[in-house]
Every structure is written in structure tokens, then in C-alpha cells.
Structure 1
Amino acid sequence: MKLKVIALSVALLAGGAAFAQSIDTVAKVKASGVVTVGVRDSSGALSYTLGDGKYVGYHVEICNRIVANLEKAAGRKLEVKYQSVTSQNRIPLVQNGTVDIECGSTTNNATRAKDVSFLDTTFVEEVRIAVKANSGIASIAQLNGKNVATTTGTTSVQTLRKNERATGVDFKEVYGKDHADSFLLLESGRADAFVMDGSILAGNIASSKNPADIKIVGEVLSVEPIAIMIRKDDTAFKKIGDDTIRAMIKSGELAKTYDKWFLEPIPPKNVRVGLPVSESIKAAWATPNNKPMEAYVTK
């Protein structure tokens, strides 16, 4: 019995050591020689796929800079693997070590901050409504009795329900498994509107078959800080990430990266998203921080 207890204690200690190791990304990648970057297939100009395992976008480019500095800290060349994640699995995959850094379109909020850490805010999102250009819909009040799409596992689900309660408008929620699927619900007529981050809406419209057929309308439903996500309490890696972002802000590189992805033609169709930098984003860059969404709520 004593031997079993000793064996169990050793196993628990080993497990604890393994967990401690797992939240030290610098040590993890130094040992393995591999860093896994979580990316999105259709998160507008923030993160999207060109096919054949190639991912690009504003957050992907920032993450590539962070990974370059991670290599310096690890003291070795790293193999970079891109792992497609969804709204539903992105946080668990960061927590369990499958993904080392998530470079998509994740809102930093207080609930999520209990499970993961966020780097300094690089984008501030406004949740908006996209509709068919000929629909006649111009605000959330006109969605009564309509089918409204959003993406499973996103904060826009809560935003949608909150606005439904506040306005008394009664609409049916329909869900896409990812942003491309949600956009298709609108594009195909199975939904009358798609409620999501404005950048994601704009990016999907710009890359659609007929961009002029869809437009963004109505009031801003929510303002949310969007940030790159890493494991909780990963102090060394968070410093690398934050230092990289702050250096890009100071040099003007972050502003140029923003313009590249939101104001200039982007692949694969060389169309412009056309989303100028907002005052909220400028404020986040002026005083770098990782304040959660709740800090953006006006009383």
C-alpha cells in the first residue's frame, strides 16, 4: 500500500511539474523546437486562410513578429505550425497546450481572462449588423420577426441577446459554425442579417462574390477590445508579446500593418476592406494595456 501511495505521489508531482512546464512557452518551444500558432479561417482581415495551409492577416502578421522574438528568447530556430481554431475550441486549445498563441479575433473579457491571458490590445472592435443592400433594414429595430445570424461561441451571441432584451425586438437567432458559415447564411437568404465584429463583416463582404450586394448598417451594438491570446500566467511569453507590440506601436510599424490589411488591397482578390483606424484603436495604441471588454462599457 505504501508503495502505491508513493507511486501516486510521484505521479502527482510529475503531473504538477509537467503543468508548470506547459505554461512556460519559452521553455516549451526551446525543448521541442516547435511553436504552434492558432489562426482563423475567416476572421476578416485579422486572420484568414488563402488555402493550402497558408494564413495571413493583421493579427497573423503581428504574431509572426512575436514568434521571431520568441525564437531569440529560446535561442534556436523554431518550426512554426499553423493550427486552425474555431470560436468554440480556441480557449481549450490554448489551455491544453495544443496552441501556444492564438492570433484570431478574440474579445478580451473578464470571464475569458480567468482561463487565459491576453496581450496588449491591438484592435478595438465595433459589433455591427450586415444585411442585403436591398433589404430596407437600417437598424436593429427593423429585425423584428427576422432571422439573425451570428457565430457559435462568440461574444456577439451575448450582444445579440442583450440588445434583443433591451429593444424588445423579437427575432430568431440562427448560428453558423464559423464566420464564413454565418456570412453564407446571410448571403444565401437563410438569414436576414448577420451580427458580428465590423472588421469581420467588412472582410467577408470584401471577399464575397458580389460585395455591393451586402452592406453594414445601423447602430454600434458593442465596443470590444480584441487581443492575441496566450496561456494563463505565462509571464515570460507575455512580456515578449507585449514588448513586441509596444515596439511596433512606437516605431509606427503597427499603424502601417493596420493600413496594409484594412486600407490597401489584400489577397486573394486584391480588394480593400476599407475600415479606417478608429479613435478607440488609436487610444489603445496611445496607452498600451490589456483592459477587458467590461472597461469599455459606458455607464
Structure 2
Amino acid sequence: MLIVPADDPGQARADFAGQRIASTKGSTSEMSIKLNKSEPLTFQDTASAYLAVQQGKARGMVANTMTTTKFVNESQTKGKKMRMIQDPMLFQPIGVGMAKDQPALTAKINEALHALDASGELNKIWDKWLGPDTEYKMTRTDKVVPITELKFTPIP
């Protein structure tokens, strides 16, 4: 996700094409900046990338949703206020990796994930680590679905 100073007029990632955007070096965040035809300003760590935006050296910063949400929340009480652009720079689905051609294992994992989702247990786990009472204050909106149902452009 892309975060920018709260007073930045940009509303969508296209508004940041050609602009200097900070990220960590060698990350998918850096790749998303290049794919957006923006100019990456890279750092060894995320905190340095965030500082570059706070100091006006970059128009925004790209990182994962958890990190950007935390920075936006913290910025409301210290430093330059930030906001998140709702148009994701890159969509990276989360999946379970396993050996190919394991239909019984795939079925069991899918069964367990769907059961956790249907019972509300995934929401409880989410809320414990990322929810409204944590520093992230995030709400889970996604559901467990087969990757074939997701609409996204694979990373080149």
C-alpha cells in the first residue's frame, strides 16, 4: 500500500506516476513502484523510507498493509499526518505453499481453513494480533477463497 502526507492531493496510484516514492531496497514494494512508472527511492529498512517521506524527500512510501497502517495510525499524534491511498500498488494474495499433486493434503488444508473462517476463529485470531484493540487497528474483510477466484495481475 502507498501512504502519503494527509494533505497530498493524489487519490489513486496513477496520480503518483513519475514521482519519487520510498521503499525498502529489493522488495516487492520497490517493484510495485517501478510497475507504477514511479521513481523508487530505496533504503535498507522501512523506518528510513518512512523518514524520507516525513522529511519531504519522497512523495510517499510503499510497504505491506500492516506496516503502512501502523505508520498512518502513529502519524495522527506525531510527525507529519499521513493517509493511505486505497488503490493498492500491488495485490499479493496469501497462500499455503505445499508440494504439487497432493490432492488429499490440499483438501485437508482447504477444509481446515474454511472451517476456521466459517466458525469465526480466523476473525478472533486476526483481532488478537491486528484488530481494533492492537496498534494496527485493522478490520479483516477478506474471506478464505481458492486462489482461482482472486482477480489480480501476477507479479512479472
Same fold (TM over 0.5): yes
Aligned-residue offset at 1:260:
2.7
RMSD (Å) for aligned C-alpha atoms = 3.4
Contact 2:23 2:40 in 1 (8 A): yes
Task: Give 2:121's aligned residue.
Answer: 253
Q: Give the AA of the match of 1:134.
A: D
**Shift in Å, 1:212:** 7.1
For residue 132 of structure 2, give the secondary structure of its aligned residue in structure 1: coil
Tell me by how many angstroms 1:193 deviates. 0.4
Deviation at 1:250, TM superposition (A): 4.9
Shift of 1:243: 7.8
Q: How does 1:35-46 map to 2 (within 5 A)?
A: none
Which of 6, 12, 21 aligns to 1:139? It is 12
List per-residue Cα deviations over 1:96-137 (Å, max 9, x = no partner): xxxxxxxxxxxxxxxxxxxxxxxxxxxxxxxx3201112333
Q: Which amino acid aligns with 2:117?
A: I
TM (normalized to structure 2)? 0.69
Aligned counterpart for 1:225 among listed residues 89, 93, 96:
93
SS of match in other structure, 2:138 = coil
Which amino acid letter does the alignment assign opposite residue 87 of structure 2? E
After TM superposition, the score normalised by the length of structure 1 is 0.40
- Change in Cα spacing, 1:243 to 1:217, as seen in structure 2 (3 Å) is closer
Aligned amino acid, residue 276 of structure 1:
T
Q: How many residues are aligned here?
A: 146
Structure 2: segments with no counterpart, 5+ residues: none
- Note if contact 1:176-1:185 (Cα within 8 Å) is conserved in structure 2: no
**Alpha-carbon deviation of 1:191?**
1.6
Greater strand content: 1
- List alignment gaps of at least 5 residues for structure 1: 1-127, 165-170
Instruction: Kindly indicate which of the two structures has a greater share of residues assigned to helix.
Output: 1
Closer, same or farther in 2 for the Cα pair 1:148/1:263, shift >3 Å? same
- From 188, 192, 195, give the equivalent of 2:55: 188
Alpha-carbon deviations, 1:220-273, whole Å to 9, x = none? 3332213466xx74x8xx88xx4896364354221111123333222xxxx4x3
Maintained 8 Å contact 1:224/1:296: no
Q: CA deviation at 1:161?
A: 1.6
Superposition deviation, residue 214 in structure 1: 0.8
Note the 1:77-96 alignment, pairs <5 A. none
Matches within 5 A, 1:1-299: 128-143=1-16, 146-164=19-37, 171-208=38-75, 210=78, 213-227=81-95, 233=99, 242=109, 246=113, 248-266=116-134, 271=135, 273-278=136-141, 281-282=142-143, 285=144, 287=145, 289=146, 291=147, 296-297=151-152
Q: 1:257 and 1:172, CA in 2 relative to 1: closer, same or farther beyond 3 A? A: same
Q: Which amino acid aligns with 1:253?
A: E
1:183-240 per-position Cα deviation (integer Å, ceiling 9, x unaligned): 22222322210123333210232245627701112523332213466xx74x8xx88x
